[in-house]
Structure 1
Amino acid sequence: MFSSAATNWGPDDGFYGTRVMAVDLDLGVIETVSTQSAGATFRGETPVVSADGRYVAFLTTHSLYGSGWQVVRKDRHTGEVKVASSDAAWVPANNFVQDDGLAISADGRYVVFVASSSNLGVATGGKDQVIVKDMLSGQVALASVKSDGSPSDGYCNIVPRMVSANGRYVAINCDGTLAPGVIGRQTWVRDLQTNTTELVSRVGANGPASTAFTYGLAMSPSGRFVTFRNACYGGLGQAGGSCEGNSGVYLRDRQTKTTYPVPRPAVIPTSYANYCQASSVSDIGTIVMACAYKSDGVNQRSQVFVYVPSPNDLGQGTHQIISVRGADGQPGNNDSGYSLAVNANGLSMVFESKASDLDPDDTNGRSDIFILADESMFTDVIFADGFEQP
């Protein structure tokens, strides 16, 4: 599932903006998802999809669904499109809906987004708050909540991989103070079942919070692990006892209440320590992340690495670069990892890349999606079979 501005996905339908697309790798079927029930295509951005592929939530500016940016959810079985950024009566948000982040639970029931709207039935205080919509009941809940039940007094945000599979846990970034004495942009987890908010960017069970801003979050499907970007000087630990050993990504185990600095990939020189950022984490702690890397010694490119932790110590493990050419295993010739993900068991990964040499059939000169699958451990480009025409 991805968004694309390409115009050659099929017969000309008269729409020339960005649309949401689905590719079924088993059936070889290509489908435009951002369509009305009558079949007309409309603008769609930043899609997220349920585990079975049935439900797709995405951002749109189509006036049919409200003013400005709105979040909608498409049922690919029935064709129904419903506004997720809405109140309990399904009235669309009346104010700013953040246009670069949303998430969906594995069953597609819960859609998480950010808005400062005043008509959603939850207090926002006029600031960006993390909001959860139950697409079955229509109910709306606030995730960026202080211990006294009031909304965050700062701005909050999310990214696609910030909700657990069952929709119970939501990882959030907030500038505001969600707990007494904790300041700055921190990482939190909201438990929607117990109505509690937990600080994640901290040392140990009850240690101090990071003194540096955190961002670039991801949560494992089970909700046990959270990864985030943090500077070494934030006080959350050093891999190998030195900031030069840090990748820049931290792993929080919510079960053991331990925060680990993820080590820097050995092939990356110490001068590029702490340069890894975008990440995704599996239920066993496997992390896929994008890291700055001068593979040719001259040009700095973002490359995608997978980190496999030791079962006995999540802060120790091995790295492997996966944004590589199939012919010789060398890193790609352009940036990779602007978007990426790993599945629950840590064996299948997907990433976006601008590199033109990861696949010999990649001739379109555009950003493409690549998959590393557990069945055959192959890397392949989805944008192929006729779509690689210039």
Structure 2
Amino acid sequence: MRRSTNRGTARRVRGVLCAAVVVCAVTTVLPGAASAESGGVARDSAVGVERVSVAGDGTQSDGDSTGGAITTDGRRVVFSSSAKNLLPGNTPGGESVYLRDQPSGQLKRVGTAPIQAPVISGDGEYAAYWVLLFRDTKVKLAQWTAGSAIGLNCDALNCSQPSLSGDGRYVANVATIGRPSTSQRIDVWDWQANTKQELAWFDHTAPSRPSISGDGRFVAYQDGKAGNVFLWDRDHGSISGPIEGPATEASIVQISEDGSKVVYLSGSDTYVHDVSSGTAQQVPNVKGLAIDPGGDHLLYAPHDTTGPSLILRDLSAGTDEVVSNQPASAGVDAVSAGGRDVVFRSTADDIVPGDTNGKSDVFVRHLY
């Protein structure tokens, strides 16, 4: 069902645009501030916010829930939780991975013991996460239909930091080599064909992670030691970059599902790199967190902590909408197509009525 185009009580505030020359033809967009939020609880078809880390009957969780990633159409959400009461007979000993279908409210536990928040494929059929297996880490792929997880055929001692294509077929991840670890590489697995492409090798283990486009053609990744962001193009078999330009340090945030934009951080600013033109749009003094599948909406956290904690920027219109006025956090894959929905985590107890569990919860704000 297509949601109403009424933006409710959330007011859009047009940002002030000004030109600046940063790296290569960079446009600077000054962050604005929206002032009001839509309250109440919504179920898929209305503007508002709902708590999704709940049982199928709406019972609130008895444990902390974290992470949160949403599909392209906003239908499904993946998150992790230490709760024991989300499913009948559910008694996990620690953190578990849950997939939730929003329209039906159906919830499935599809994995256990994630080290970091899980990510989701654009179609919502798969989630990926990484776990500790004895001394090593492995990537697991969970399927909605099967309701269970499988281990990927990682040919290194440690594999981590997965990113999924739109249909879940391609998984980009980091493989760490040696014990103790001395080097790492960026891989892309076609797990259905059981084939692998090695994109880059690094002679260090500084944080380096990939982000893959929906069709698996592009992978943006960082060299954590040099502070550079690169873009791999499968069709041309080429690697371009560093996309932030020379003598500039940067770290990767996310590539949009359509492969048109790459978000990276540099200094105190966020940049949205246009893949086709090679130019970048600068959003100063904010921390970019995620971008929507079409590359038009940036979710960010202002460095100024006295105002809203999460804001969604319409990059074309230069307008902002508040996602959360309360303290909140979000990760990659947090925005659905067109900026319709944003998933986030918060410990606040006044985002929706009846939040009395005293735990961190995962929410989805429906903006239209």
Please give the range of the TM-score, normalised by the shorter of the 2 chains: 0.5 to 0.7
In structure 1, what is the Cα distance between the partners aligned to 2:189 and 2:38?
40
What runs of 5+ residues in structure 2 fail to find an aligned partner?
1-36, 327-349, 352-368
Which deviations, in whole Å up to 9, do the C-alpha atoms of 1:299-333 show, x marking residues without a partner? xxx2111112345xxxxx222212xxxxxxxx33x
Number of positions where the alignment pairs a residue of Structure 1 with one of Structure 2: 281
Q: 2:296 aligns with which of 341, 344, 347?
A: 347
What runs of 5+ residues in structure 1 fail to find an aligned partner?
1-7, 12-20, 86-92, 117-123, 147-151, 202-208, 234-246, 293-301, 312-316, 323-330, 357-362
Against the structure 1 CA distance between its residues 84 and 379, is the aligned structure 2 distance closer, same or farther, given a 3 Å change threshold? same
Against the structure 1 CA distance between its residues 284 and 47, is the aligned structure 2 distance closer, same or farther, given a 3 Å change threshold? closer
Alpha-carbon offset, residue 349 of structure 1: 2.5
Alpha-carbon offset, residue 210 of structure 1: 3.1
Against the structure 1 CA distance between its residues 80 and 248, is the aligned structure 2 distance closer, same or farther, given a 3 Å change threshold? same
Counterpart AA for 1:158: Q
Partner residue of 1:303?
A: 269
Q: 1:143 aligns with which of 152, 156, 168?
A: 152
Partner residue of 2:69?
A: 48
In structure 1, what is the Cα distance between the partners aligned to 2:301 and 2:291?
10
For 1:196-345, what aligned pairs fall within 5 Å after superposition? 196-201=195-200, 209-213=201-205, 215-230=208-223, 248-264=228-244, 270=247, 273-274=248-249, 276-282=250-256, 283-292=258-267, 302-310=268-276, 317-322=278-283, 331-332=284-285, 335-337=286-288, 339-343=289-293, 345=294
Partner residue of 1:39?
A: 58
Partner residue of 2:122?
A: 106
Alpha-carbon offset, residue 189 of structure 1: 0.8
For 1:12-31, what aligned pairs fall within 5 Å after superposition? 27-31=46-50
Partner residue of 1:77?
A: 103
Alpha-carbon offset, residue 354 of structure 1: 3.3
Which deviations, in whole Å up to 9, do the C-alpha atoms of 1:68-126 show, x marking residues without a partner? 111111122222221110xxxxxxx4xx431x23111122111111123xxxxxxx565
Alpha-carbon offset, residue 139 of structure 1: 5.2
In structure 2, what is the Cα distance between the partners aligned to 1:353 and 1:307?
19
Q: Residues 137 and 157 of structure 2 are in contact (CA less than 8 Å); yes or no, is this contact kept in structure 1?
A: no
TM-score (structure 1 length as normaliser): 0.64
Provide the secondary structure at the position in 2 that maps to 1:380.
strand
In structure 1, what is the Cα distance between the partners aligned to 2:50 and 2:313?
18
TM-score (structure 2 length as normaliser): 0.67
Counterpart AA for 2:126: Y
Partner residue of 1:242?
A: none
Counterpart AA for 2:157: D
In structure 2, what is the Cα distance between the partners aligned to 1:166 and 1:215?
24
Alpha-carbon offset, residue 132 of structure 1: 0.6
Provide the secondary structure at the position in 2 that maps to 1:84.
strand
Partner residue of 1:186?
A: 185
In terms of fraction of residues, the more strand-rich structure is: 2
Against the structure 1 CA distance between its residues 22 and 284, is the aligned structure 2 distance closer, same or farther, given a 3 Å change threshold? farther
Q: Residues 143 and 149 of structure 2 are in contact (CA less than 8 Å); yes or no, is this contact kept in structure 1?
A: yes
Counterpart AA for 1:83: R
Aligned-residue CA RMSD (Å): 3.2
Whether 2:322 is the aligned partner of 1:381: answer yes
Against the structure 1 CA distance between its residues 349 and 368, is the aligned structure 2 distance closer, same or farther, given a 3 Å change threshold? closer
Counterpart AA for 1:367: S
In structure 2, what is the Cα distance between the partners aligned to 1:355 and 1:144?
44
Q: 2:157 aligns with which of 142, 145, 153?
A: 153
Partner residue of 1:370?
A: 312
Provide the secondary structure at the position in 2 that maps to 1:67.
coil
In structure 2, what is the Cα distance between the partners aligned to 1:10 and 1:113?
32
Q: Residues 208 and 222 of structure 2 are in contact (CA less than 8 Å); yes or no, is this contact kept in structure 1?
A: yes
In structure 2, what is the Cα distance between the partners aligned to 1:308 and 1:104?
24
Alpha-carbon offset, residue 52 of structure 1: 1.6
Counterpart AA for 2:311: I
In structure 2, what is the Cα distance between the partners aligned to 1:263 and 1:167?
26
Q: Residues 131 and 140 of structure 1 are in contact (CA less than 8 Å); yes or no, is this contact kept in structure 2?
A: yes
Provide the secondary structure at the position in 1 that maps to 2:241.
strand
Alpha-carbon offset, residue 10 of structure 1: 6.4
Against the structure 1 CA distance between its residues 340 and 320, is the aligned structure 2 distance closer, same or farther, given a 3 Å change threshold? same
Q: Residues 45 and 59 of structure 1 are in contact (CA less than 8 Å); yes or no, is this contact kept in structure 2?
A: yes
Against the structure 1 CA distance between its residues 231 and 109, is the aligned structure 2 distance closer, same or farther, given a 3 Å change threshold? closer
Counterpart AA for 2:272: V
In structure 1, what is the Cα distance between the partners aligned to 2:42 and 2:189?
31
Counterpart AA for 1:319: A
Against the structure 1 CA distance between its residues 320 and 39, is the aligned structure 2 distance closer, same or farther, given a 3 Å change threshold? same
In structure 2, what is the Cα distance between the partners aligned to 1:157 and 1:310?
29
Counterpart AA for 1:104: I
Query: Which structure has more RCO (C-alpha within 8 Å, separation ≥ 6)?
Result: 2
Alpha-carbon offset, residue 45 of structure 1: 0.8
Provide the secondary structure at the position in 1 that maps to 2:56.
coil
Which protein has the larger Cα radius of gyration, Structure 1 or Structure 2?
Answer: 1
Provide the secondary structure at the position in 1 that maps to 2:275.
strand
In structure 2, what is the Cα distance between the partners aligned to 1:231 and 1:145?
21
Q: Residues 263 and 291 of structure 2 are in contact (CA less than 8 Å); yes or no, is this contact kept in structure 1?
A: yes
Q: Residues 38 and 48 of structure 2 are in contact (CA less than 8 Å); yes or no, is this contact kept in structure 1?
A: no
Provide the secondary structure at the position in 2 that maps to 1:79.
coil
Report sequence identity in percent: 22
